[in-house]
Amino acid sequence: MKVRLLSIILLIMAAASDAAAQSDTGSVKTDSLPGRFFVIQKVDRNGLILPEVEIKEVTVYARPTREMKAAKRKFDRLEYNIRKVYPYAMVVRFKLEEVNQQLENIKGEKERKNFLKKVEKDVFGEYEDDIRNMTISQGRILIKLIDRETQNTSYSLIREYRGGFTAAFWQGIARLFGTNLKDEYDPYGEDAQIEMIIKEIESGRL
């Protein structure tokens, strides 16, 4: 059986060598279907002329380790949280642009404060339940994304529109839950993974 198999292999190699020698281009039809063929090249291997066929690159992946599986679960969770809170960061961005445009037409300080209180009440009424249902991890990501979209930390936004005392109060509450309203977004450092996921969302691939 081994002798027969060896003979078949030698016959195939001999046929391939003869075909390569008879062809000017080195192209040999190996299939009856049109357009399907391989290019056999004659290559000198230490003085021995051998036929070679270039094949597509094959990627071989190792069996996932426990650490790899844990990292994949962590990344999937991060992606899920970002997809959930990113729309709210966009709401803050557009609402801030809208508020700033309207404030330009309100001159009196009392009128400005009343306007901001109304905006705050409307926003709370519309989004309070959604925000309350967020996890602490999602809240941290939202704080980061607000900074990304508005170029202002959550703390500076509260201080600007509601005053320093209110900002300090909510910063104290945030710290009790392990978050920080002063967190800044770092797309090239610790938030690089978040930035990568956001780019995928913005491009429509997620």
Give the tens place of pLDDT for each residue, 2-20.
Answer: 444 445 445 455 554 554 4
Residue with tokens 């990568």: 196
Confidence of residue 74 (pLDDT cuts 50, 70, 90): very high
Contact 180, 143 (CB under 8 A): yes
Q: Is 57 left (phi over 0), alpha (psi -120 to 50) or beta?
A: beta
Residue 91: pLDDT above 60? yes
Contact 164, 157 (CB under 8 A): no
Confidence of residue 92 (pLDDT cuts 50, 70, 90): confident
Contact 157, 143 (CB under 8 A): no
What is the share, in percent, of the chain residues with pLDDT greater than 90? 21
Task: Look up the pTM and report it.
Answer: 0.65
Average predicted confidence (pLDDT) for the chain: 79
Residue 127: pLDDT above 80? yes
- Tell me if residue 28 falls in helix, strand or coil: strand
Q: Given this model, what pLDDT does residue 14 score?
A: 52
Confidence of residue 98 (pLDDT cuts 50, 70, 90): confident
More confident: 33 or 116: 116
Q: What is the pLDDT of residues 144-174, one digit of tens each?
A: 999 999 998 888 888 888 788 888 877 887 8
Distance (Å, whole) CA 49 – CA 101: 78
The type of residue at 106 is: I
Residue with tokens 């926003």: 123
Residue with tokens 């925000």: 131
Q: Which of 173, 186, 91 is nearest to 147 (CA)?
A: 186
Using only the alpha carbons of the chain, give its radius of gyration.
32
Q: Given this model, what pLDDT does residue 36 score?
A: 56
Lowest mean pLDDT among 28-42, 60-74, 174-188: 28-42
Residue spans per domain, the chain = 2-53, 66-202
CA distances from 105 to 95, 111, 150 (A): 16, 10, 21
- Tell me if residue 100 falls in helix, strand or coil: helix
Q: Given this model, what pLDDT does residue 20 score?
A: 47
Residue 65: pLDDT above 90? no
Contact 127, 88 (CB under 8 A): yes
